[in-house]
Amino acid sequence: MKKLISVFLIFLVLIIAAACDSAEPSPEPTEVAVEPTEAPEPETTPEPIELVEPKVVIYGITTGVTGNNHYDAIMLANVGDGMAQLEGMKLVYRLKEGSERIKLAEWNTPTTIGPRSFYLLVKSEQEFGIVPDYIFDQPIAGSKGGLKLYD
């Protein structure tokens, strides 16, 4: 058995040596001069993008969770490309058609929402894990009523 292993190892060494001797050295890299080219002109001029004026919308509403009917939040969004001003606006809630409008929020001082940004309003004494922009006191019902933003 030792002879067989010895013959195998000698054979393996010969194969490796033959492979190393027959390897040709790799050619040296050569420099190739590249001429700078200009970018081709576009065939047509793109249409200008129409900018959207600042516009505040009611983006999302959360009205309670299991075990906590007062876990209420409202998110406003500025869907425009400029700063949106909330000063002079108010957000009202009405439980049903014909019922009294209840003011949830009113902005009497300069308050802005950046372009494509959000503004969070939450019910008082509720923890949402982030600092709200505005806190309101009136609970809102999930299955009835509606919200409206007046300017």
Region for residue 67 given its phi and psi (left: phi exceeds 0; alpha: psi -120 to 50; beta: otherwise): left
Structure tokens at 116: 């494509």
Q: What pLDDT shows up at residue 11?
A: 55
**Residues 4-31, mean pLDDT to the nearest whole number:** 59
List pLDDT tens digits, range 86-99.
999 999 998 888 88
Q: What is the pTM of this model?
A: 0.62
List pLDDT tens digits, range 19-39.
555 555 666 666 666 666 676
Amino acid letter, residue 56: V
Residue-by-residue DSSP string for 21-59:
HTPPPPPPP--------PPPPPSSPPPPPPPPPP-EEEE
Torsion from C-alpha of 115, 137, 102, 139, nearest 10 degrees: 100
Q: What pLDDT shows up at residue 137?
A: 92
Q: What is the mean pLDDT of the chain?
A: 79
**Residues 49-68, mean pLDDT to the nearest whole number:** 77
Name the β-bridge partners of 76.
58, 119
Q: What's the pLDDT band for 74 if we cut at 50, 70, 90?
A: very high
